[in-house]
Structure 1
Amino acid sequence: MPTQPDHEHNGLYDFAATASPPEDPGCVIPTLPSRLLERAAEIAAQINPVNAPLTQGATAEGGLPQVAELAVLSSKYWGFQRRTLSVSFMETTGADLKQRILSHMNAWGIGVNFALTNGTGQVRISRTGQGYWSYLGTDVLLIPQSRPTMNLQGFTMNTSEAEYKRVVRHETGHTLGFPHEHLRRALINRLDVAKTIAYFRDTFGWSEQQTRSNVLTPLDERSIMATPQADQDSIMCYQLPGQITTDGQPIRGGSDINAIDFAFARSIYPRGGPIFAQAADWDEAEDVSVESALAQAYATAG
């Protein structure tokens, strides 16, 4: 059973988080309060000069396509430079569980490496909070060290490998700066607004405002970098039922990082090490260009 959204208003940051069984909409990305957005932009620009403030367009009055594009918010992007982000856990966690979670975080196989620290990490994981969520990209640097930047409710060594792939890799994508793909304008234009509002109200108890904010408000295309074609199987894509789309076709959503995800991540971040080579068997040659890799990935995905 999915949990209800949890709202926290403590004067520092606000978020809604929802747990993620296969039939629910997935996580809801925590957002910084408006008073911290300017500081967030300053920090992002210091880390990577190409970063620009995040904006969102007006709510679309239409429906959502059955496909999604992987996109990265340029205002949260860590930049094309190899770096290591330290990781710590908020609760006492066994070494085997730490290593298992870390291995899935590093499954993106790019030049942003996640490494355990005995101190307080830049990425801080809790397993007791409600739902699955992560702050976006460089925003993790603004969260107080006493607070988590990622939540993996209830994850243990008994959690299935499929859930590790679906959830941990998805939330790590947010930490890398990837938003939900259903927020691309083309996707939102395929949703039946009234049906979508009713579905999230009846299934998850969301208000109309929550649904419009989390599902029906598109990202400003000027604030993101994205693949040129859509991919409904991306790990960053919500799974949405056909009952809320205008054409009756569901959004399948991704259960693991796919070839297009890998290719796009590699196009904006430096190449990774052996993890990437093992995962991306569609691009084994070191001299294959990113453009060719993306074209090959699209062809494979159909």
Structure 2
Amino acid sequence: MKNFTSWSFVLCIFHLFTLSSCGNEKQLEICTEILPVRDPSKGTVLRNTKWREGSIIKVGFINGEEVYRQKVRLYAAEWEKHANIKFAFVNNGPADIRVSMNPGSSWSYHGNESLRFSQNMNTGETVAGTNGPSMNFGWFEPSLSEVGFRRVILHEFGHSLGLIHEHQNPTAGIDWNKPKVRAYYRDKNGWDEAKTELNIFKRYDANLTQFTSYDRASIMHYSIPVDHVNNPAHAVAWNTTLSDTDKSFIAFVYPRTPPIREREHSSHHGHQGIGTGGGNRGGDIMREENKK
């Protein structure tokens, strides 16, 4: 994976925490970006992830029960109501997004990176080519609530359109309790300070991303427990639907001017990626997420 210099991959990791504002024990879903070995703050790996407006993006299933496939089709279509793209689910032949349902984590490649990379299902490594999955749902099971299905499917397909995590919005301004957060991820995930900085505290460069003002209601935001911030107002509960800003931003990134058309592989390269949150929403977009 260290040899690749133009891909982004998001991995969801989750741990238990009690959200004080709710008083209910829930699972904290953390999507961890695995980036090439270079300075991620420069945003170079966030480029060229945007699909061409009007694209018909073919989605195929590598495995998974039909009942879960139906849920993916249902909730992925929510993005189509607001963006000038269409997800066409295919039963055979090549697919632009390849969905697996292997137990473990949930993750997705950003935008059209799925045209160039996939995961080796034996090793878990990113490899060039499209022989493996480009998206995975790792916790689909009968006990998962309908809200849980909706949340993770919306989130992962947001990443597949190029959306980044909202807490890394250039204008987020979250007042983190950094010692507490560092200790948490050290103990729970085994992260060193550099990895916590990259995945939690780092905000993307405003000059290299498209974004709107920070949207704490975004589907691309994961929960932030109250003890991870100095200001309780900065805690974030679970978001389970597209926010108004999610809808308006994705409509801005994928405007409805061009007609829907079959995607040509060559047409998807050379387009800037996108990100949500911040003053200009429309630059490098990428986001991801959760478990029940």
| Structure 2 counterpart of 1:162 | 147
2:178 counterpart letter in structure 1: V
2:228 counterpart letter in structure 1: I
CA distance in 2, matches of 1:194, 1:188: 17
Alignment of 1:1-302 (within 5 A): 9=1, 17-20=11-14, 22-31=26-35, 33-34=36-37, 56=41, 75-79=48-52, 81-91=53-63, 93-108=64-79, 109=81, 110-117=83-90, 118-143=92-117, 144-156=129-141, 159-187=144-172, 189-227=174-212, 229-249=213-233, 250-271=235-256
Deviation readout 1:116-164 (Å, 9 max, x if unpaired): 1212311011111531111111211111222211110032466321012
How far did 1:234 drift?
Answer: 0.7
How far did 1:23 drift?
Answer: 3.1
SS in 1 for 2:32: coil
CA distance in 2, matches of 1:271, 1:14: 27
Distance 1:218 1:255, change over 3 A: same
CA distance in 1, matches of 2:232, 2:166: 19
Distance 1:245 1:185, change over 3 A: farther
2:171 counterpart letter in structure 1: A
CA distance in 2, matches of 1:160, 1:128: 18
| Structure 2 counterpart of 1:282 | none
Distance 1:219 1:163, change over 3 A: same
1:243 counterpart letter in structure 2: D
13-22 or 239-248, which moves further after superposition? 13-22
Distance 1:120 1:188, change over 3 A: farther
Query: Matched residues, percent identical?
Result: 27
How far did 1:28 drift?
Answer: 2.1
Distance 1:265 1:234, change over 3 A: same
Distance 1:205 1:111, change over 3 A: same
CA distance in 2, matches of 1:97, 1:139: 24
CA distance in 1, matches of 2:114, 2:98: 9
- Structure having the higher strand fraction is 2
How far did 1:14 drift?
Answer: 8.4
SS in 2 for 1:218: coil
- Which runs of no fewer than 5 residues in structure 2 stay unpaired? 16-25, 118-128, 258-280, 282-292
SS in 2 for 1:226: coil
Q: Does the 8 Å CA contact 2:151/2:219 hold for their aligned counterparts?
A: yes
- Which runs of no fewer than 5 residues in structure 1 stay unpaired? 1-8, 36-53, 59-72, 273-293, 295-302
The normalised TM-score by structure 1 is 0.66
2:106 counterpart letter in structure 1: Y
Q: Does the 8 Å CA contact 1:26/1:132 hold for their aligned counterparts?
A: no
CA distance in 2, matches of 1:264, 1:151: 25
1:76 counterpart letter in structure 2: T
CA distance in 2, matches of 1:17, 1:212: 16
SS in 2 for 1:17: strand
